[in-house]
Amino acid sequence: MMLLQKYYQGYLCKYADLQWDRLIEALGKEDTDGFTTLAKGYEALAHTSPRNRREMMYEFNRLFVGPDAPKAPPYEACYRNPERTLMQEETLAVRAFYRKAGLEIKNINTQPDDFIAFELEFLLGMLEDGSGEKKAYAEEFLREHLLVWTFDHVREIRDNTKQPVILSMATILQGISEALKEGLA
């Protein structure tokens, strides 16, 4: 999850070859037993070439950042608001959820609260805390927000790119979403 959070914040766009090698090696040691999609994602990532990784940034920006209209905008509202407009009730519901847990994003209103990296970070925060109350928030957040749209987001990525690193990361997002969904069931 942290991998995806850092990824969507753009930190991997300028990751050096060596850093990638180390990360992929470490990911290979992750316990993915029983989570086939996630395992597939890690494996696919391991099979990308250094050149794929170096070139990932352009495709990342085309899909998620801009300056042209992003092909797979990483905001919850884009998958739930019928007009894909940000900062409407869908985004504000995420804001209200954060507030329920006593939090809000820094520099509020300068970025949509439902940016995927914020949603992942919030979830991580709740889970890392470990308390029963925070875990309950995490489960509720997954049910009401994150898992409602990540599968659609993954589909939109797949429909719009062939870039191996981006596709691997989409598979990882799908894998984690599936695993979390299963855990909730």
Main-chain phi, psi angles of 96, to 5 degrees: -65, -35
Choose the binding region for other proteins from 46-54, 115-123, 145-153, 161-169 (rule: CB under 8 A).
115-123
Residue 133 token pair: 């109350």
Could you say whether residue 94 binds other proteins (CB under 8 A)? no
- Residue 162's CB is within 10 A of a number of other CB atoms, namely 8
Among 92, 93, 147, 148, binds other proteins (CB under 8 A): 92
Residue 12 token pair: 């991997």
- Residue 117's CB is within 10 A of a number of other CB atoms, namely 18
| Interface map 37-66 toward other proteins (x if CB under 8 A) | -x------------------xx--xx--xx
The residue behind tokens 């995927």 is 116
Question: Taking Cα atoms as reference points, which of 7, 43, 39 lies closest to residue 24?
Answer: 43
- The residue ranges that bind other proteins (CB under 8 A) are 1-3, 6, 9-11, 13, 19, 22-23, 26-27, 29-30, 38, 57-58, 61-62, 65-70, 73, 75, 77-78, 83-88, 92, 95, 98-99, 102-111, 117-118, 121-122, 124-125, 127-128, 130, 135, 138-139, 176, 179-180, 182-184
